[in-house]
Structure 1
Amino acid sequence: MNYLKLLLVIYVCIEDASSKDCYWNSNCKYTWFSSKTPYENVRGDIRDSVVKTTNCEAISIWSYLRHGKRNPGGRFAKQMKAVLEFKQYILNNYETGNHTMCAQDIENLRKWQPSKSVMNEPNELNDEGYLEMVGIASRLRETFPDLLSDLHEGEYLFHPAFGNRMLDSAKAFIEGLQYRGLTIEKVINGYDDMAPHATCGVYQRDVRLNPNVFDEVTKYEKTSDYLDTKYNIESKLGDRTTNDDIVALYDLCRYLWDGINKIASPWCALFTTKDLEVLEYTGDLMHYYRNGYGTKYSKAFGEIILADMLRNFESTKRHKGKKIISYFAHATSIDTILVALNLFKDANHLTGAYRNSDRKWRTTKLSTFGANLIAVLNKCKVTNDVQDYHVAFYLNEEPLLELCNQGVCSWQEFEYKFEPFLNTTSDFCEFRTQPN
């Protein structure tokens, strides 16, 4: 969503605001949940935003996608189950008149029943995530019918990183292309150059498994901004909460929000818009220092991935490339790709001291479920005897305006930006670990 659209949405929300601050009938529900945002809440539509130029044809697509919406991990699912006891507290408070929530919000919460699959199948791609992947591929096929209407062996590569949710995302993507029987390249022994962070020993030791990485989050949780949110939630629950409780309640809101069918989770009624903005920022801080500009390894990981794009497009120019290459991996990899491209970089590091509402690093828009970077190589006729090439970039199906000329790089610009990545290695990893 561009900023003009955002301003329009804000204006409409102000105009339609109800005098009673109820969640169920709000025309302006806050739908940005950091990296756990359903893809449908933020995506563009490549059918509408595709670059249209004369005398050009798309000859190759390179895409890198985060897996679709998944269930929470085991530890988080356990915490979500633990805070379900708050449901009865909320209902009891309502019955005794000690409440601040609206009657319909209470009724919606009373009727709600936990999903067995969400709570008991950790990390698995869920039905919504599957449909997210089907939708992306379907829109790609409709946008580039001449390129994608007839794929044969050797003309494509579908490569999921290690893990069921990546493999299932690849299967859903192929279904969206309306093909059967296409081969999926599987990772052997877990190690994968296209998800370099997953087995990089030094990164896993120094960052992924280092609790100090989240020091800025801890700092933020002591600010008045965060403590006001905590107090607001406790006033609705009628009980004290820990920070883990708040994360679990937030997860009941965002994991259970159905983006495709536009159905809100009743648990979201516990939060004001400002509360959700605060919790979104904690997610941004986590990603920033684990995968983004706050860690020194991100740039190299992203460059290793992006070098593959250049190699394929160079091969395509020599008539040896593939029509489509699609990788399916993690939010971590999407973050590192953006760092390698030096995109969405704030002038100053994000900090736990205060929340910058105008920050560029916003995981809701960058690395949500189903997030994707799509690059399209176009061959253009300059004269009858001269051909040229350009590369169009899309982030979550909208033109990546921050790159080159409104998202379109000439071949010379493309080479200049990407050739240095060919020399990047993961030798600094020192040792390998098994992917999670």
Structure 2
Amino acid sequence: MSRWKLAFLLLAATTLTTKVYRADSDLEAKSNTSKPMTTHPFEGDADEEGGSSEVKSEVFSDDFGHCALGMESPCADDDEGGEWASEGYCFTKEPKPPVGFAAMTPYSAALTRYLSAGSVTPEGCQPVQLWHLIRHGSRSMHKIDFARMESQLPPLRRMILKAHGIGSGLLCAEDLALIREWTPQMMDMGKTGVLTPEGRAEIRGIASRFKDVFQKLVYKPYFFEKSPSENARQRPGEGTEISFAPSFSSYDSAVTYLETLYGRRWGHVGLPVIGSPKLQYFDLCSNYINKVVARSKMRKPFHTFIKGKIMEAVLRRVSRRLGVTMTITRVRTMYNACQYQNAWNPKVPSPWCAAFTPRDLEVLEHWEDLRIYHDLGYAHSITYKQACGLGSDFFSRFRNHVENNKTDIDSTTYFANLEATVPFLTLLGLFNDTEPLNDKVVNRDRQWKTSRFAGYGSNLAMVLSSCRDKSWWVSALLNEESIKLPGCEDPLGCPWDKFMEQFAYLEKCNFTRLCGEITRRLWHTQYWRTHYVINNWM
């Protein structure tokens, strides 16, 4: 060995760091509970003072021992056995395939039960107004991502087949067949951002079920074969408002939703010609862009996570499983392919998912969740405060109905992107863990599991109801299931007075003061931001 190689190895040995893993909770624990914010969302903003609420990453030395607590840990090698071992595991024969694929999880995995009228409001209360925020359905991939997979995966597939041909690797015959039969053409789902067949099915299902339960609010027909005097409305959809973010997938979702409700006459409803900027507020908030998105990736925990022991162990196990030396770029590319094809056809095994064991996928899910937590969640207060326009929108609509008897709009439905829906859920105080997500711990019992609340087609419905005792009631539905709001004692929601007391801050929204002046330069951020998310965050 040359002295230069020896010097390099000595240097690497002195710079090893370690992480801690906690695996003391059941993976299937329910995560749709919430806790109130400890401070008012628009008070004590460290970001506005030039600071940051980012979780700081602490570096541990080797003096703390192994990077895991216990033998069966994400740092264990295959020869230690246990649930982390690759040998003997066959993805194709998995009786319960993994469903947690972070924000690329198909809606069917998050939907635990079908919506019913009895699960919305307490007895004696009748829904009178609906506010519905829906993330677009599953879509085709970005061309940058497709180009990466088209260039990297075919050579990798040949290497895997060759390795197994000479007796290396641990894939079972069925898993190896999946990878052998895979072709790049399977990843080509057409124009960037357009809904896939599964994405359309997701949106159609939501529209159909909400039409059944909230027919008087969501579906407003007009019978063309009747005279105007015989019709209760002047046009289809009168009394409803539908808008979409300026993106292909959001527009496609809105059209699919209306087609499901009105068939070929959906065009008479009056869908706006262009997307609404208020549903893409994250591209207009300069303080958010400068303090969060443009922050050096070296200061972001999801980037430092890939350099830690937990991810190193994943690379070792996947390398052993495939018989090919893995890099973080290769793992990322395979994981993306696994996610995409699982989202497009969740009932068919996704070939590149066979590269991972369920526990490897669990670590990769945490990696994704950590990224979303930092860029879209609780790590920086400016991130969720910028969503206050959506909060003010639904709060003022409900207040006008209760206090001013303004009943011209029965339902409001918005179709938006992940970057708009997650900060709004955060603004409401949902899925707020006691211990913030960080790069040191993979908490299997965390509330912040985006696969359960931010996958394709995920949606939040706020419902205002009128009760027999002349009171008012506010309920929330997440993915068609009642969710307990922070500060509310009843799992079905709050009386109006209690709701106003808890969420009055939603109306205190000054977007310009919070985010800074809008400039023409900011209109271009959506393009470099897409490039950043796909290429630069590793």
TM-score of the two chains, using structure 2 as the length reference: 0.73
In the alignment, residue 56 of structure 1 is paired with which amino acid?
C
Partner of 2:100: 32
2:240–2:409 Cα contact (<8 Å) kept: yes
The 1:260/1:238 distance shift into structure 2, 3 A limit, reads: closer
Return the match for 1:173 from 241, 257, 263: 257
In the alignment, residue 491 of structure 2 is paired with which amino acid?
Q
Q: Does 2:433 correspond to 1:346?
A: yes
In the alignment, residue 177 of structure 1 is paired with which amino acid?
L
Query: Which structure has the larger Rg over C-alpha atoms?
Result: 2
| Deviation larger for 260-269 or 392-401 | 260-269
1:25-45 CA distances to partner (integer Å, 9 max, x unpaired)?
Answer: 111211101111111111234
SS in 1 for 2:503: helix
Partner of 1:158: 242
1:50–1:143 Cα contact (<8 Å) kept: no
1:40–1:259 Cα contact (<8 Å) kept: no
Partner of 1:320: 407
Q: Does 2:318 correspond to 1:248?
A: no
In the alignment, residue 164 of structure 2 is paired with which amino acid?
Y
1:90–1:236 Cα contact (<8 Å) kept: no
Partner of 2:67: none
| Deviation larger for 129-138 or 116-125 | 116-125
Q: 1-side partners of 2:189 and 2:159: how far apart?
A: 21
In the alignment, residue 28 of structure 2 is paired with which amino acid?
L
Q: 1-side partners of 2:299 and 2:251: how far apart?
A: 30
1:375–1:394 Cα contact (<8 Å) kept: yes
Q: 2-side partners of 1:211 and 1:176: how far apart?
A: 44
Shift of 1:362: 1.3
Return the match for 2:349 from 255, 264, 283: 264
Counterparts of residues 222-237 of structure 1 (less than 5 Å): 222-237=307-322
In the alignment, residue 355 of structure 1 is paired with which amino acid?
V
Return the match for 1:82 from 151, 155, 167: 151
The 1:274/1:214 distance shift into structure 2, 3 A limit, reads: farther
Partner of 1:50: 119
Q: 1-side partners of 2:96 and 2:299: how far apart?
A: 31
The 1:214/1:132 distance shift into structure 2, 3 A limit, reads: farther
Shift of 1:76: 2.2
Q: 2-side partners of 1:138 and 1:389: how far apart?
A: 26
Q: 1-side partners of 2:396 and 2:170: how far apart?
A: 59
Q: 2-side partners of 1:393 and 1:115: how far apart?
A: 41
Counterparts of residues 412-427 of structure 1 (less than 5 Å): 412-427=497-512
The 1:156/1:213 distance shift into structure 2, 3 A limit, reads: farther
SS in 2 for 1:196: helix
Shift of 1:258: 4.6
SS in 2 for 1:393: strand
SS in 1 for 2:217: helix
1:214–1:289 Cα contact (<8 Å) kept: no
Counterparts of residues 271-282 of structure 1 (less than 5 Å): 271-282=356-367
Q: 1-side partners of 2:152 and 2:127: how far apart?
A: 51
Q: Does 2:178 correspond to 1:108?
A: yes
Shift of 1:346: 1.6
| Deviation larger for 45-54 or 231-240 | 45-54
The 1:5/1:227 distance shift into structure 2, 3 A limit, reads: closer
1:255-307 CA distances to partner (integer Å, 9 max, x unpaired)?
Answer: 00156651220211100111101110111111111011112212312322111
The 1:46/1:390 distance shift into structure 2, 3 A limit, reads: farther
| Deviation larger for 284-293 or 312-321 | 312-321
Q: 2-side partners of 1:96 and 1:230: how far apart?
A: 21
Q: 1-side partners of 2:99 and 2:474: how far apart?
A: 32
In the alignment, residue 170 of structure 1 is paired with which amino acid?
A
Q: 1-side partners of 2:378 and 2:119: how far apart?
A: 29
Shift of 1:79: 2.0
Q: Does 2:515 correspond to 1:429?
A: yes
Partner of 2:458: 371
1:360-417 CA distances to partner (integer Å, 9 max, x unpaired)?
Answer: 21111121111111111111111xxxx1211110111111124422031111122223
SS in 2 for 1:159: strand
| Deviation larger for 315-324 or 242-251 | 315-324
Q: 1-side partners of 2:299 and 2:130: how far apart?
A: 37
The 1:227/1:94 distance shift into structure 2, 3 A limit, reads: same
SS in 1 for 2:208: helix
2:140–2:194 Cα contact (<8 Å) kept: yes
Q: 1-side partners of 2:142 and 2:392: how far apart?
A: 31
Partner of 1:336: 423
SS in 2 for 1:297: helix
Counterparts of residues 69-218 of structure 1 (less than 5 Å): 69-84=138-153, 85-115=155-185, 118=188, 121-151=191-221, 152-179=236-263, 180-181=266-267, 182-187=269-274, 192-212=277-297, 215-218=300-303
Shift of 1:198: 2.2
1:161–1:328 Cα contact (<8 Å) kept: yes
2:120–2:477 Cα contact (<8 Å) kept: no
1:21-62 CA distances to partner (integer Å, 9 max, x unpaired)?
Answer: 211111121110111111111123452472254332211110
The 1:28/1:349 distance shift into structure 2, 3 A limit, reads: same
Q: Does 2:127 correspond to 1:63?
A: no
Partner of 2:56: none
In the alignment, residue 364 of structure 2 is paired with which amino acid?
L
Q: Does 2:469 correspond to 1:391?
A: no
| Deviation larger for 175-184 or 322-331 | 175-184
Q: CA RMSD in A?
A: 2.5
Q: 2-side partners of 1:214 and 1:129: how far apart?
A: 35
SS in 2 for 1:195: helix
Return the match for 2:468 from 357, 366, 381: 381
Shift of 1:215: 2.2
In the alignment, residue 322 of structure 1 is paired with which amino acid?
I
Unaligned runs of 5+ in 2: 1-24, 31-81, 222-235, 528-538
Q: 2-side partners of 1:69 and 1:125: how far apart?
A: 6
